[in-house]
Structure 1
Amino acid sequence: MPEVLTRAQTRRQVIAPLIKSGALEQAIDAAKEMLRLHPGNPDDHALLASLYGRRRLWEEAIHHADTGGAMADAAMGLHAARIRLRLQAGRHAEAAQVARDTLDLARQAPAESAAWITALLRTGDVDLAVSLVDGMEPGVYGDERSAALIVQALLAGGLNARAILAGLASLQAGLDGAALRSQLGQAYLARGLRDQGLEQALAHLQEGVRLAPQDVRLNSLYGETLLRAGRCQDAIPFLRLCSEREPALEHTRAMYARALRDSGLHTEAADQFLILCRQATQRGRWDRYAVSALLQAGRKTEAADLYRVSMQSRESQLPECFQLALAELDNRTDAAPIPQSRLDWAWSLRGAQVDLPRQQWERAVRWGHLVDHLMLDWLELRSNRAHEVMALLDNLDEVDEFLAPLIASGRGVVVATAHIGPMFAGPMIIELLGIRARWLASTPSVTQSAHAATLISTSDQSEVRVAKACFDALKQGCFVGVAVDGAANFSAPRILFEGQEITYSSFASRAAYRMQVSSIFYAPYWRNGRIALTLEHLPTVDAGEDSNAYARRWQRAYLEQVRKHLSGAPESLRASGGLWRHVR
């Protein structure tokens, strides 16, 4: 009778060589036989779980991990395997449930907690993940990957300062690596303008790329951060690498195209935007960007052709009449794409007069977002039927009375607004009142809409040419509309406002100062189902006042009006573009 090998001999002399040679099926058979002869050892179930997992036989792997984990002397690693195998199998909800059921084990052995943190974060159970990691000492993390997960969890929980401290402590403990540098960079980015957050983020991301030069996600994040810092040319090689290695990543290619455009490489930028047009998951999403890039590259015929095709595509999706289009919004309101962070911020700014349940309030915000974009489509694509939108306008007598003295003066006026309310109603109102006006807009100059002559396109002209067009219009006595929170490039200046960073350009105030003209705040809003208009005078220049002092005083008055508007009716928020872009 052949001698029966001991359990240790079987693992060492039979199973280990089979695994080394890649004979996983034979290794599994040997491990099963060993388990039959020597039952009751959780380590043997762990071995089988690992072998089945390597063959992606998830049911068998999870069965053995669970069986071994149920034994009294199961090691911590086996419980981690129960979670990890479920994550690998895509069974995230199950993984998170196992993590919740065994949370005390993770607290007792924080060095092994990576699987628990990953499962909880994957299913959005951020509070529980934070409760697990908050207060852990860096020395017990185990490895760099665990250290990175601790930072990620704290960051997901909005604890940016603690995330940074945990990451820096891990570095001091010698737990350096690309994943940790990536999370630290993101933590500093979340800090934003505070304490040189952008510069610190760049330093950590640069080191992360050095440690993992082929990591697409890290290169993409570093390239985008360089772009945000205004270092467009520096961003190009990192974003190019990502676009070449992962051609289907829309966001990364868009960042690459913008880096090329902002570096003056207009032909290359146009080519990248055209690729986006062809492969975009959302039809027509990149058409306007591509048209602008083609115009900047001097490819006017291509730009006009693409714009015409895009307009035809958009027009074909509009209902027959505006009232029908408006009625159809009710069916799409709940799916309006507004990030939750914007809704949370706006909710915190509402005034006491807004007395709505949260769900109803959010639905009103989404409706306002959709109806403003519908008005843009209608005015661009059905300009011959703009009167159907005009029917929504409230009585304009008060507006006419406010503007009459400014019109009578014959001088230009700076009209400052923001991305709030049904902003696309503005040109319509001014036209109805017979006012000579020009509006800064991202609409490409090839547009054939009825309002084309009133637009100063920011999408296909340099900043110098846009500024000159504004000054010329003011000299001619025109009203010049400027969305102060709008910006064409990623690195546009930002300021802190109500706990968030918003894009803010001082151009409007400095234009008013330079041209010595009046300036007013303007914002459409919904009142009893109709579009009314807020108009307020902004500061005039005091005798002997320098431009910087005036710009600061003007900014305070402008932001006061924006803040007042944000406290009002939810359907008048708009919640996209401009000041909403960087809300976290």
Structure 2
Amino acid sequence: MVELSIENSRPVAGADAQDAAVRLREIIGQIREAADPERGMAALEPALRQAKDGWRDVRRLLVSPFVREGRFVPAIAALEVLIAVHPSRVDDRRLLASLFGRMQQWDRAIAEADAAAGIEPGNAALHAVRIQLRVQAGRVAEAAEAARATRAMAQSEPGEAHSWMMAFVRNGDVAEAADIAAALDPDKLPNERVATMAVRALMGDGRNAAAIGLGDAALSAGHDCAALRSSLGLSHLRRGTEEDRKVHAVAHFEAGLQAAPADVRLLTLYGETLLRAGRYQEAVAPLARAIELAPELEQTRALYARTLRYTLQYGDAADQLMKLVEGSPDKLLWQRAAIGALSQAGRKEEAEALFTRYIATRGARLPDTFQEAMARMEEKLDTAPIPQARLDWAWSLRGDTSIDRAAWERRARWGHMVDHLLLDWLECRQERAEEAMQLLGELDTGERFFAPLLAAGRGVVVATAHVGPMYAGLMALELVGIPSRWLATAPNSARSSYAEALISTADQTEAQVAKACMRALGSGYVLCLAIDGAANPAAPRTSFEGQEVTYSSFASHLAHRMGVPSVFYAPRWENGRVAYTLEMLPAANPDEDAQAYSQRWQKAYFERLREHLATEPENLRLSGGIWRHVTPADRSARP
């Protein structure tokens, strides 16, 4: 029997080895019973060096119990002894890195993970830990760099691919994450975690069809979980067909909630999707539950308020919106919505008071003169909040294909911002509205156009869209004295300069709005409707130039029913002034039924709208209406 020297701190053989193991366990027991376990660690290292395979007892009898009890400091101390004695054991370093991470000691956690991967550089799981810890530490750029340097491992070990995709997604490198996801074999997805992250990565890169295909394959393989259902439902929403929105997305969110009934994000998504599908009553419960669990979520509360409105609970809807106003008193979006809700609930005085405050807040942000406001706007063009998908779609519709893209976008942004400035000026600078009216071009043409139509004593349906300087129309009709009514989502208020001309959808039911429109036409008014816009979240859509756009047949059916002429109207910029496109839309043929007429009318309307969109970029507007649901082109076929 060979005995090894104690002085050299090496394991001994035979009976002495058994004694060394007994001695190690005694020390482990003493450390476990000590009030201050760290102080007893000094005796652990020499005993561990003497005991053959003593690391097993240290892990089993000392480290594991401390970890189970949540006593990470002594667990870390014991692991540091283990690593000092057995420096090439990667499992100890990996556990140590994990404990440092749980204590948010990120530098030490990352150092241990890097050391473990350095010992076994071909171990994908260890590199996954390195990447994951950097993500958890908020060092996403470092995480992405580490992922990029070891990307081949994610493809060779798909079970660990989640960490690589997560690092790329968090760093904004969605195309790289999606490339890893696209390389996965849909029939051999390793687990639900990887499947969920892969769907998310593909969706983030605009590869919605690919995300849906991969997600469906994951479900078929039994990898079902709430997170996967959430990402898969979102992929359907982003692809955006009617069946996607009203059937598939709803089904996935509902299935996700069966697994995670208190998931606030899923509750919100489910409720919102039901709301936009017109299933108002069903949307109430999930949204109510979501704000019960997370009352601080403003957008969820706003959705809940809309649902209450469409289930005719006007008072409750107003209460919810006033909570938003009280929680974010400077947020104009909530103020505007609350004004309409208060009016609809019959709380007129509150609505008037809030409208006064709303106008004052906006007015305080405006310069003293319209000229100064225009000059300041030029400096802010790059801040115009226009989604890139809208710019891309509008670019594809342009008539002049020789124009520079950067210059075109700048002019498009200018048109967007000027129109919103016009609304601010009309509402907040009523006493100086004439300054904005200087933008109006020659008005005689419009007056001559409408004169013979109105001479018959009947009203006229004017169909427009969310294009060009929309709000200039209010000024123009006021100046020429044409009796008009405008259908709009703006909340009505007796104090607004255009209140008499407004039929507001914000504070009336659809039936009330329809009756007001018919009364206006019957009284010989010009009735202006932006038929690509609707307050109703479940408003119908139709296909137009490769996109699903909101479209209401209300205008054509109204013209048919009332027997009045209809006109296509679009404001546009011409030599720095607002001009107007006015063209007759089809009249109903004798004995033509409403449906046939409506289809013919719709075709003519979209033909004229398409012509307008091909004009100068200032004439686009790029918000509301046809722009609201524009989605990027699906990138699933990307090589």
String of CA shifts for 1:306-328, please: whole Å, max 9, x gaps.
Answer: 11121122222221111111111
Percent identical residues = 50
- Per-residue deviation, 1:210: 0.9
Would you say the 8 A contact 1:83–1:116 is kept in 2?
yes
1:539 is aligned to 586
1:573 corresponds, among 617, 620, 628, to 620
What's the counterpart of residue 57 of structure 1?
A: 105
CA distance in 1, matches of 2:294, 2:402: 48
Aligned residue runs from structure 1 range 441-460, under 5 A: 441-460=488-507
CA contact (8 A) 2:48 2:85 kept: no
2:617 corresponds to which letter in structure 1?
P
Q: Which residue identity is paired with 1:514? A: R
Report deviation, 1:11.
Answer: 2.2
CA RMSD of aligned residues (A): 1.7
Match of 1:514 among 561, 568, 581: 561
Deviations 1:238-276 (A, max 9, x none): 111221222221211110110011110011100110111
Q: Which of 187-196 and 111-120 deviates more?
A: 187-196
Give 1:379 deviation, angstroms: 1.0
Letter paired with 1:546? D
CA drift at 1:231: 1.1
> 1:222-237, aligned counterparts within 5 Å?
222-237=270-285
Aligned to 1:549: 596
Residue 195 of structure 1 deviates from its aligned partner by: 4.3
Deviation of the 1:445 alpha carbon: 2.6
Number of matched residues? 583
Given that 2:237 and 2:244 are in contact with CA atoms closer than 8 Å, whether structure 1 keeps it comes out as no
Change (3 A) 1:264 1:197: closer
Contact 2:458 2:525 in 1 (8 A): yes
Preserved contact between residue 484 and residue 508 of structure 1 (Cα < 8 Å): yes
Aligned equivalents of 1:59, 1:223: Cα separation in 2: 42
1:94 is aligned with what amino acid? E
Aligned position for 1:344: 392
Contact 1:242–1:252 under 8 Å retained in 2: yes
Q: Displacement of 1:550 after TM fit?
A: 0.7
Give the C-alpha shift of residue 193 in structure 1.
2.8
Change (3 A) 1:540 1:3: closer
What residue in structure 2 maps to residue 287 of structure 1? 335
Partner of 1:172: 220
1:393 matched to 2:435? The reply is: no
Distance (whole Å) between structure 1 residues aligned to residue 418 and residue 402 of structure 2:
22
AA paired with 2:605?
Y
Quote the residue 2:427 is aligned against.
380
Q: State the alpha-carbon separation in 2 of the partners of residues 72 and 192 from structure 1.
A: 46
2:267 and 2:82 map into 1 onto residues whose CA distance is: 47
Amino acid at match of 1:509: S
Query: Which protein has the larger Cα radius of gyration, Structure 1 or Structure 2?
Result: 2
Mapped partners of 1:534, 1:249: distance in 2: 44
| 3-state SS of 1:386 partner | helix
Stretch deviating more after TM superposition (556-565 or 5-14) = 5-14
Equivalent in the alignment of 2:517:
470
Indicate whether 1:193 and 2:193 are aligned.
Answer: no
- Mapped to 1, the partners of 2:143 and 2:334 lie a distance apart of 38
Query: Which deviations, in whole Å up to 9, do the C-alpha atoms of 1:73-105 show, x marking residues without a partner?
Result: 552211111111111111112111111111100
Distance in 1 (alpha carbons) for counterparts of 2:207 and 2:325: 38
Deviation at 1:448, TM superposition (A): 1.6
The CA deviation at 1:354 is 5.5
Contact (CA 8 Å) 2:155, 2:183: kept in 1 or not? no
- Which deviates more, 332-341 or 214-223? 332-341
Shift >4 Å, 4+ stretches: 194-197
Structure 1 residue matching 2:461: 3-state secondary structure: strand
* Distance in 1 of aligned mates of 2:201 and 2:313: 39
1:322 maps onto 2:349 in alignment: no
- Which residue pairs with 1:94 in the alignment? 142
SS in 1 for 2:199: helix
Pick from 154, 178, 181 the counterpart of residue 130 of structure 1. 178
Worse-matched range after superposition: 456-465 or 182-191: 182-191
* Cα distance between partner residues in 2 of 1:281 and 1:8: 61
TM-score (norm 2): 0.88
Give me the whole-angstrom Cα distance separating, in 1, the residues matched to 2:248 and 2:160.
30
Shift in Å, 1:417: 0.5
Gapped regions of structure 2 (runs ≥ 5) = 1-5, 7-46, 632-639
For residues 323-363 of structure 1, give each alpha carbon's deviation from its aligned partner in whole angstroms, at most 9, with x where no partner exists.
11111112222112122222222222222x26443233222
Does structure 2 conserve the Cα–Cα contact (< 8 Å) formed by 1:188 and 1:198? no
Which one-letter code corresponds to 1:284 in the other structure?
A: L
User: In 2, are the aligned partners of 1:273 and 1:290 still within 8 Å (CA)?
Assistant: yes
Q: Which amino acid aligns with 1:207?
A: A
Matched, 1:218 2:266: yes
Range with greater deviation from structure 2 (258-267 or 396-405): 396-405
Give the gaps of 5 or more residues in structure 1.
none
The CA distance in 1 between the partners of 2:168 and 2:48, in whole Å, is 48
Distance 1:300 1:400, change over 3 A: closer
> Are the structure 2 counterparts of residues 539 and 444 from structure 1 closer, same or farther at C-alpha, using a change threshold of 3 Å?
same
What does 1:292-307 correspond to in 2, within 5 Å? 292-307=340-355
- Asked if residue 270 in structure 1 is aligned to residue 318 in structure 2, the reply is yes
Asked whether the 8 Å contact 1:110–1:140 carries over to 2, the reply is no
TM-score normalised by the chain length of structure 1: 0.96
Measured in 1, the distance between the counterparts of 2:371 and 2:542 equals: 39
User: Which residue does 2:11 correspond to in 1?
Assistant: none
